[in-house]
Amino acid sequence: MPRELTERQALLALNALPGIGPIALNRLLEGFDGDARAALAADRRKLESILGPAAAVVREREAHFDPVKEEGKMERSGVVFLGRGDPGYPRLLVEIGDPPVGLYRKGPYTFGNPCVAIVGSRRATLYGQSVAKRLAADLARLGFCVVSGLARGIDTAAHEGALSVGGTTAAVLGTGIDIIYPPENLDLYRRISERGAVVSEFPFGRQADKDSFAMRSRVMSGMCEAVVVVESDMYGGAMATARFAGEQGRLLFAVPGRIDQSTSSGCNQLIRDGATLLTKAEDLLQEIQYLGGLRPAPVSPPPGG
Amino acid sequence: MPRELTERQALLALNALPGIGPIALNRLLEGFDGDARAALAADRRKLESILGPAAAVVREREAHFDPVKEEGKMERSGVVFLGRGDPGYPRLLVEIGDPPVGLYRKGPYTFGNPCVAIVGSRRATLYGQSVAKRLAADLARLGFCVVSGLARGIDTAAHEGALSVGGTTAAVLGTGIDIIYPPENLDLYRRISERGAVVSEFPFGRQADKDSFAMRSRVMSGMCEAVVVVESDMYGGAMATARFAGEQGRLLFAVPGRIDQSTSSGCNQLIRDGATLLTKAEDLLQEIQYLGGLRPAPVSPPPGG
């Protein structure tokens, strides 16, 4: 029998199970009426009936992960872990097919505003970066939370743009929340976590891989009303985020670019495939208002901002 | 009574009536079962019942225009005048609401191929010009006749692109067919009229004005299966051609560009409003084939080309 865990600790342990993704995890929790402790303490037959051969990792989890140690790390770095029922868990994210069972968060922001993801290539042109920055600033001024992935290029420009007007921004990581990549974004990470939020579904220390980046993409689009791809070639994370946006029924916008620059080929493709061509923040506001009557309250910059 | 005119001379005279546009002219011809001579010879009451006060110009037409002299000019410059029923009058053009009652043509081309208009701004960037040239070359290679307006910038690049691969191109003028503007395009005019066609609905000597450019736009889109706007700001003739394309039910394509360059603002606007984003000739071919099963026969370059 595992030792006595709090419900939060049990959820942390479940969330950290290696090789078990959100789909299986949601199925497992459903099998125990959402009771994480009961899921962890279940006998092998019951676990196997839900997870099949993967059930073994639940029984072996104590070798891999100590939720008490994890809580210690969280406390030392000012990180909280939000279950799906907790206030501060992004409202829209619950609606996707396979939401994370919980999210680590560093920063005071509780996702009260409608969110818009601004994403694009790491290898961005000056054009893409300047568009991302201006667009993020304008959307933040309108009261949106600007969501991106803290990566180089477009992501960085988007976060910076939102911060530049005292707006709200959130970074969704494809790694553990304690891993700051790229290293030159350490200061940006700090500023986001002071005013906004850095979030991750992964346990501390989790390194990035292809899976984790795809999982991050689905969380970014899932928590947002709309996704804007500012600059992207035909491949990469931003295109994945755009695909998730489509599957999740989110509004999808793309910024066009020259047809002789491969850096815009993904965006142009998205527009041809039905994404709305975006040239300014008002394009997005208009469409969101049209669909939902939604209008965020514009932010005023903070006293020192 | 006017002196005895041939049917062709009567049509030339009708077409040259000052201040009477194609809508009124078509109504007038219909009133006489398409008989231009009968229309010219009609009495004042009958003319006024169709044209209202504008009827006066029909009675006064001999002071303004001598169709015999016009025929002399045509002959000296190798120009023919095609009525709507004549072979060589562009097939699709007959279908628009107010087709020209006739077209002057210089050049051997008889509009047997499907036509695509490639249009854009006079003040084009190098980007726009290179896209127009490449696209025109590719469409010409596929067997389309590339239609444009002989203007500076995108038009010139489009004609040149088609000629560069030995393809067919037609220039539609907003002036009399004897007026070559801009002057630096004299050589281009000659090369087009050697292999393709220069056409105009206006009598010899007619100078350009806003009306004549708008009329030219409607003819360009009217004779084409599709219109491609390669580079345009929010105003100007290319946008007018795009509007006509919409009204006439033609396929409308636009090439996207950077959102921070006003030279692409018109194209981006057209795409947002429903024009298909185009990045290469195959995009257009695909859509045309999808709609109509139409596929032009690819041209092989002429022996000397």
**Model pLDDT for residues A78-121, shown as the tens digit of each residue:** 999 999 999 999 999 999 989 999 999 999 999 999 999 999 99
Of B259, B265, B277, the CB nearest to A272: B277
| Rounded percentage of chain B residues whose pLDDT exceeds 90 | 84
Q: Round to whole Å and give the CA distance between A62 and A69.
A: 12
Q: Which residues of B touch A (CB under 8 A)?
A: 127, 130-131, 255-260, 264-265, 268, 271-272, 276-280, 283
The reply to whether omega before A90 is within 30° of 0 (cis) is no
Query: Which chain A positions have a beta carbon within 8 Å of B272's beta carbon?
Result: 276-277, 279, 283
Give the Cα-Cα-Cα angle B212, B214, B220 (nearest 5 degrees).
Answer: 100
For B235, the token pair is 């105003």
Query: Which chain A positions have a beta carbon within 8 Å of B279's beta carbon?
Result: 259, 265, 268, 272
Q: Which residue of A259, A267, A284 to mutate against B (max B Cβ within 10 Å)?
A: A259
Q: Round to whole Å and give the CA distance between A50 and A44.
A: 10
Sequence-separated contacts (24+) of A25-30 with Cβ below 8 Å: A25/A101, A26/A98, A26/A99, A26/A101, A27/A51, A28/A58, A29/A101
Q: Round to whole Å and give the CA distance between B140 and B264.
A: 24
Burial class (CB in 10 A: 0-12, 13-18, 19+), B39: buried
How many other β-carbons are positioned within 10 Å of the β-carbon of residue A64?
12
Of A256, A265, A272, the CB nearest to B257: A256
Report the gap between the CA of A277 and the closest CA in chain B (Å).
Answer: 5
User: Between the CA atoms of B198, B199, B205 and B210, what dihedral angle is there, to the nearest 10 degrees?
Assistant: -110
Query: Which chain A positions have a beta carbon within 8 Å of B257's beta carbon?
Result: 256-258
Full pLDDT tens readout for chain A, 305 residues: 446 899 999 999 999 998 898 999 999 999 999 999 999 999 999 999 999 988 888 888 888 899 999 999 999 999 999 999 999 999 999 999 899 999 999 999 999 999 999 999 999 999 999 999 999 999 999 999 999 999 999 999 999 999 999 999 999 999 999 999 999 999 999 999 999 999 999 999 999 988 999 999 999 999 999 999 999 999 989 999 999 999 999 999 999 999 999 999 999 999 999 999 999 999 999 888 766 655 666 665 554 43
On whether the CB atoms of residues B227 and B251 are closer than 8 A, the answer is: yes
Query: Which chain B positions have a beta carbon within 8 Å of A280's beta carbon?
Result: 259
On whether the CB atoms of residues B77 and B106 are closer than 8 A, the answer is: yes
Mark yes or no for CB contact A268/B277 under 8 Å: yes
Q: Which residues of A touch B (CB under 8 A)?
A: 127, 130-131, 255-260, 264-265, 268, 271-272, 276-280, 283
What local confidence, expressed as pLDDT, does residue B188 receive?
Answer: 98
Q: Round to whole Å and give the CA distance between B305 and A294.
A: 61
